[in-house]
Structure 1
Amino acid sequence: MTLKLDAVMGPLLARVANDAILPRYQHLADSDITAKAVDDMVTVADTHAEDLLSEALSRLLPEAAIVGEEAAHADPAVLDRLGDGLCWIIDPIDGTNNFAAGRPPFGILIALAEQGEAVAGWIYDVLTGRLCSAHRGHGAWINGEPVRARPTGEDPPIAAISLMFLDAANRAAMKERIAPHYTLVDIPRCAAEQYPRIVTGINDVSIFERTLAWDHAAGVLFVNEAGGRAARPDGSAYRVDQHLEPGLIAAASPALFDAMAARLAAI
């Protein structure tokens, strides 16, 4: 069923990008940006895009609940829908801090979940039009072409590790016990960019501490369907209705995942 959604999802994401996001890129006024929390913001483009997406997706599958990032911020009770039979999960602009600063990367993340598990996902790069998609049990695509995850082949492997949400002790342990085994690169602060980097041979592995559903549902499915591995550090599957639990590894191969998971377990 979900494969048929690709025919409408690409044009929908392009329309929302053109109507709500691109006209405001590098043209935001101070009054267009609001701080939700420390180092977390929302813009008028986020709310406009989420409104357009919510309206369109509700028409596409009227039986599916909708959980949008901004709606959930306004009313946390919205999160209770994540375990529903069918549920759309929307991140209208992933990488809002980048977008607000007038620089890439940023994108749109959409996932469709069923009873807490992602069954389809779309990752749209607003500036380039690149569309990554995945369907549970059917594979992954970039711009309609099948894709398989490929490691960089570098030794040591290339890792993008976010220390942003770690406490001081865990941050120190990560630097001492994990960092020496990898070539560390900057994180893009945008899951819509990080997950494609894992699949396309730019990065080998990434660690995330915060695992909110709108940031990770589509990307985890994309990596797994491309033949990489994305899961909790203990190997258990990522579920969107358990998104407040910390810790997630995404890797370009099961072997790279296992190596990182073993090192994390030894901390």
Structure 2
Amino acid sequence: MHHPHHEAVVTLMRRVAAEIVLPRFRNLGADEIEEKAADDMVTVADRLSEAALTEGLAALDPTIRVIGEEAVAADARLVAGIEHGRAWIIDPIDGTNNYASGIATFGIMIALVEDGETVAGWILDPVTDRLCHAIRGGGAHVDGRRVTAQPSGGERPSAVLATYHLDAATEAELCARAGRVFTVAPMPRCAAEQYARLVLGTNDIALFQKTLPWDHAAGSLLLREAGGVVRWPDGSDYHVADQRRGMVAAASPALWDEAVAVLFG
């Protein structure tokens, strides 16, 4: 099952990867990398990628607004009303810190939301060309193959904890709680890769601190369509307009229940 714009979106993402993102990978000048905020990078490639994706998506249907991460960084008002009507949400390079450091863990993400719910999502890994996509009610797919989230199969579930926005005491407490029951795995610092790992059985659970819409709109649909869950600790489902901190994604409802009991119980 494909969205009517599926082929056009995939073609656009692959073109941007080939013409803009990959040629600049490990090839950026010092003047082409900036720090937007502490530990939050942006490169010339992010800006060019977003411009090309925005232009391409706007051409597909001028009635759908486009919300890009870098556009919102420049003008926060652009994200207002994200829960009303139809919008494309773009992360032009997810994992920019990795990309700028020459680490090959980054992605391009596009989601289509209607009244705040993701109806279609695409995640491209430019280096491997792996394409994850999902349609609401139509399943999750990796490279065209329908996938169901599988447990990682280790003796203990594999949990990834985003802790770099927490104070040291909170981080230590979370890691100690998790370590009693789970194997704490390293974080890829790239939501595009993290959602793929939850669907493909590398990790079972992920705790995210920041919940910006371009980081989670596409991946949350992918994981849900694969049989997983993405919820706040109070049990409410993730929604793109809600930017609370501390959200838990898991490969199954049972794993989610266990994660919340262990981390917050």
Q: So what's the TM-score if we normalise by structure 2?
A: 0.97
Cα shift at 1:168: 3.1
2:261 corresponds to 1:262: yes
> What are the equivalent positions in structure 2 for 1:76-115 lying under 5 Å apart?
76-115=76-115
Q: So what's the TM-score if we normalise by structure 1?
A: 0.96
> What are the equivalent positions in structure 2 for 1:2-13 lying under 5 Å apart?
3-13=3-13
2:3 corresponds to 1:16: no
Alpha-carbon separation, structure 1, partners of 2:132 and 2:82: 22
Alpha-carbon contact 2:9-2:57 (below 8 Å) kept: no
Alpha-carbon separation, structure 1, partners of 2:126 and 2:78: 26
1:51-95 Cα shifts (integer Å, max 9, x gaps): 000011111121111110000000010110412300110000001
Alpha-carbon separation, structure 2, partners of 1:229 and 1:82: 22
Alpha-carbon separation, structure 2, partners of 1:169 and 1:261: 19
Structure 1 residue runs of 4 or more that deviate by more than 3 Å after TM superposition: none
Cα shift at 1:123: 0.5
1:190-243 Cα shifts (integer Å, max 9, x gaps): 01111000011111111101111000111111000011112212221111111x
1:98-128 Cα shifts (integer Å, max 9, x gaps): 1101111001011111111111110100101
1:210: which partner in 2?
210
2:255 corresponds to 1:247: no
Alpha-carbon separation, structure 2, partners of 1:89 and 1:199: 21
Amino acid aligned to 2:253: P
Q: 3-state DSSP class of the match of 1:156?
A: coil
Alpha-carbon separation, structure 2, partners of 1:229 and 1:98: 26
Amino acid aligned to 2:32: D
1:111-162 Cα shifts (integer Å, max 9, x gaps): 1111111111101001011110011111111111111110112121111111
1:68: which partner in 2?
68
Alpha-carbon separation, structure 2, partners of 1:19 and 1:220: 28
Q: 3-state DSSP class of the match of 2:20?
A: helix
2:140: which partner in 1?
140
Alpha-carbon separation, structure 2, partners of 1:237 and 1:118: 12
Alpha-carbon contact 1:134-1:141 (below 8 Å) kept: yes
- Alignment RMSD (CA, Å): 1.3
Alpha-carbon contact 1:232-1:248 (below 8 Å) kept: yes
Cα shift at 1:11: 1.1
Alpha-carbon separation, structure 1, partners of 2:196 and 2:24: 25
Alpha-carbon contact 1:66-1:81 (below 8 Å) kept: no
Alpha-carbon contact 2:156-2:181 (below 8 Å) kept: yes
